[in-house]
Amino acid sequence: MGESQNLSQAALIVEDDADQRSLTAMLLQEHGFETIECESAEAALATMLLRGREVCLVFADLRLSGVMDGVDLAHELRMRWPHLIVVLTSGNAGTRLADLPAGVEYMPKPWQLLNLLVAADRAKLTVRPARCRGLF
């Protein structure tokens, strides 16, 4: 019975700070998610190409090491997986917030656990119907 509940409930965490990434993963795991961790936007996109059907939430830092930052990642995700819940976070967003694509949420650091869990619950409900229609 519990297997159908776990279907397609993975969260992709994209954070270049290993401690932040591990903490976020632990919190989402305690909330019933499988977690996938990446330290760059490029690794996150590669992961989505392989496991995108499982992911219903992407929680990414706005400032990432590598060529792409979180805003660049959000644009790619919205274009390829338009029904995916994407939340960006940062302690110093600067002017990049003006470039967020429509539908992408922003959560300033330090974020509140309740806000993360509300976004996670919404992801479980929102994305499942799109995946059932075969969007990938």
Report the greatest alpha carbon distance in the chain: 47
Break the chain into its structural domains and give their ranges: 2-132
pLDDT in tens, 11-45: 999 999 999 999 999 999 999 999 999 999 999 99
CATH code: domain 2-132 is 3.40.50.2300
pTM of the model: 0.87
Q: Tell me the chain's radius of gyration from C-alpha atoms.
A: 14
pLDDT in tens, 94-116: 899 999 999 999 999 999 999 99
